[in-house]
A and B are shown apart, each in its own frame.
Chain A
């Protein structure tokens, strides 16, 4: 982290392109765990595919609840990601660039939703934003707004669980970015806001994109906090993971179909975004 301020700011030379290694050179000590890790990650997926009721798939896909839940999932995950970007990027900047007392504690607090079981997160949200909650009771009496059991509630639950992924990714990108560019901008008379928008943001754009993707993916799969805080009602708060859970109660095959739909759509979207935004250098 510490940089020599005496050195003149200059763009670092591009790292020499690494030649793809030949397969024979890969050390077994790395290959073995790598392949095991890969198998561990993809075998459950293979299990889903193996048990999928392919014959009745088209008919199951057109059942009315499927599209409603899918649409709601995509909408809420996207809104939650936008909310996380609006709040999380400035928070990451604060953590990475500004020295303030208690910064370590704040940094640890940001990760709380990561370690908190999502159901507990949902209960915590109810205690704050619920009808009897600390803020919720005030919202209800002043504006007549109640958040539980609404689509807004879903967005809040998802954002709560997903924001740490964005903040951590962006903060990492900021700390890894060459701060000499920002210093140069400052010497040239740019204030902090201009520096942030014209230098910092473009510099860490790939980090923000990666964080946003992680955040969106986590929001899309969110279950525990959502069902606890926002409840489960088709068309309003029943996202795909909730629909999968309830389908599992009666019909394993329906649950598999819903899971596959969610999986296929999210992989397709992520692959498209990746090609468009995160082009490999």
Chain B
């Protein structure tokens, strides 16, 4: 009899827990504040963007907010593959900007994209070296010297896949000391002086110009990364999301991206 009672209590508790969790999962309508927007577009656009877009998209977001009063842009910057996983697991994002078509494909294949993705920029790799290039690195072949410590991105993230492609194209075999989880982590190892070189995007080297020089190398032409962008199917704020993507593709948007070192698609 005692067990029966405790069983009832347990059931009640479980039911409560489920109700509580369901309540937590409710859609938030935060951000859609009544604004007197000239464009008529309001709301909080949540953009999941590749780590390499951090600087340029932060700037773009500010410009977009200024052009569309009543909107706010919130970012989640991370490795494209992590973002793709989060989106496919139901993260409440409006826009996805990926550093590689493969990660975009993960999202569109799962039916989470609205329409087809648009390539909005291209990026290519450079060798990031500490400022002044103390080790005198001139090309990929110099990275194989035994005393040169090199950081690459892990093969699972776009910058790592591109690095592998470029190294293969050049016929260079090198053993890195570390395979970093994203391009910013690889760059940080150069900034801190823990490695002598890292393969990062040109835009990343440019954003860290105070500490880092970017050495261009010809084989990077064979490993150009295309960045696709898309509005997501379940975007909580679709009109604002569409307006944001349009802004990225517009002339002012393109100017910001070009200034950051991206190439036109």
Using a CB–CB cutoff of 8 Å, the interface residues on chain A facing chain B are 22-24, 26, 28, 31-32, 35-36, 39, 126-127, 130-132, 148-149, 227-228, 231-234, 237-238, 245-250, 252
Choice from A24, A149, A232, A245 contacting B5 with Cβ under 8 Å = A24
Task: Choose one: B5, B16, B156, B180; the contact of A23 (CB below 8 Å).
Answer: B5
Q: Could you name 19 residue pairs across A and B whose Cβ atoms are closer than 8 Å?
A: A23-B3, A24-B2, A28-B9, A32-B9, A32-B16, A35-B9, A35-B10, A35-B14, A132-B192, A148-B194, A231-B179, A232-B178, A233-B177, A233-B179, A246-B156, A246-B181, A249-B156, A249-B157, A250-B156
- Across the interface, do B154 and A36 meet the contact criterion of CB distance under 8 Å? no
A252 to B179, CA, bound (A): 19
Most interface-central of A39, A238, A247, A252 (chain B CB within 10 A): A39
Please report the C-alpha to C-alpha distance between residue A228 and residue B188 in the assembled complex, in whole angstroms.
9
Question: Which B residues are CB-close (under 8 A) to A228?
Answer: 185
Which chain A residue shows the least CB distance to B9? A31
Contacts of B90-141 to chain A: CB distance below 8 A: none
User: In the bound complex, do residue B179 and residue A249 qualify as a contact, i.e. CB atoms below 8 Å apart?
Assistant: no
In the complex, A170→B225 CA distance in Å?
53
* Bound CA–CA A35/B11 (angstroms): 10
Which chain B positions have C-beta within 8 A of A237? Answer: 178
A232, B2: Cβ atoms closer than 8 Å: no
Q: Report A192 CB to chain B, min CB distance, Å.
A: 43
Chain B 162-192 near chain A by CB (<8 Å), digits 1 or 0? 0000000000000011111100010001001
Contact A149 B157 (CB under 8 A): no
Beyond the given pairs A23-B6, A24-B5, A35-B9, 8 more chain A to chain B contacts, judged by CB atoms under 8 angstroms and listed by A's residue number, are A31-B13, A148-B194, A149-B177, A233-B177, A234-B179, A249-B85, A249-B156, A250-B156
* Alpha-carbon gap, A232 to B178, bound state (A): 5
Asked if A249 and B82 make an inter-chain contact with CB atoms under 8 angstroms apart, the answer reads yes
A31-B9, A245-B181 known; A130 vs B194 contact (CB < 8 Å): yes
> Known contacts A231-B177, A232-B178, A249-B81; is A149 also within 8 Å of B149 by CB?
yes
Contacts of B82 in A (CB 8 A): 248-249
From A26, A131, A234, A252, give the contact of B85 (CB < 8 A). Answer: A252
What residues on B are CB-neighbors of A238 within 8 Å?
179
Establish whether residues A126 and B154, one from each chain, have CB atoms under 8 Å apart when the complex forms.
no
B87–chain A nearest beta-carbon distance, Å = 12
Q: Which residue of A lies closest to B83 (CB)?
A: A249
Residue on B with the closest CB to A232? Answer: B179
B79→A249 contact, CB < 8 A: yes
**From B158, which residue of chain A is reached at the shortest CB distance?**
A249
> Would you call B151 an interface residue if the criterion is a C-beta within 8 Å of the partner chain's C-beta atoms?
yes
B178 engages A39 (CB within 8 Å): no
User: How far is B67's CA from A80's CA once the two chains are assembled, in angstroms?
Assistant: 54
- Does A227 lie within 8 Å of B181, measured CB to CB? yes
- Given known contacts A232-B179, A245-B181, A249-B154, is B192 in contact with A130 (CB within 8 Å)? yes
Instruction: Report how far A247 CA is from B85 CA in the complex, Å.
Output: 11
**Chain B neighbourhood of A131, CB < 8 A:** 193-194
Q: Which of A39, A127, A130 contacts B14 (CB 8 A)?
A: A39
Which residue on chain A has the smallest CB distance to residue B86? A248
Chain A nearest Cβ from B174, distance in angstroms: 13
Known A-B contacts A130-B193, A249-B82; the reply to A231 vs B6 at CB < 8 A is no
Which of the listed residues B82, B154, B180 has the most CB atoms from chain A within 10 Å of its own CB?
Answer: B154
Q: In angstroms, how far is the closest chain B Cβ from the Cβ of A130? A: 5
In the complex, what residues of B have CB within 8 A of residue A35's CB?
9-10, 13-14
Among B5, B16, B157, B193, max chain A CB count under 10 A is at: B193
Task: Report whether A250 and B81 are in contact in the complex, using a CB–CB cutoff of 8 Å.
Answer: yes
Query: Is the Cβ of A126 less than 8 Å from the Cβ of B194?
Result: yes
Contacts of B9 in A (CB 8 A): 28, 31-32, 35
A23-B5, A26-B6, A39-B17 known; A232 vs B81 contact (CB < 8 Å): no
> Can you name the residue of chain B whose Cβ is closest to the Cβ of A255?
B85
Alpha-carbon distance A248/B106, docked complex (angstroms):
13
- 4 tightest A-B contacts by CB? A231-B178, A249-B81, A249-B156, A132-B193
Write out the residue numbers on chain B whose beta carbons fall within 8 Å of the beta carbon of A127. 192
Query: Chain B contacts of A234 at CB under 8 A?
Result: 179
Supposing A35-B10, A232-B154, A237-B178 touch, asked if A248 and B85 sit within 8 A by C-beta, the answer is: yes
Counting chain B CB atoms within 10 Å of each CB, the highest count among A245, A246, A249 belongs to A249
Which residues on A sit within 8 Å (CB–CB) of B79? 249
CB neighbours of A39 from chain B (8 A): 13-14, 17
CA distance A248 to B82 in the complex (A): 7
- Checking A26, A149, A245, A250 against B178 with a beta-carbon cut-off of 8 angstroms, the contacting residue is A149
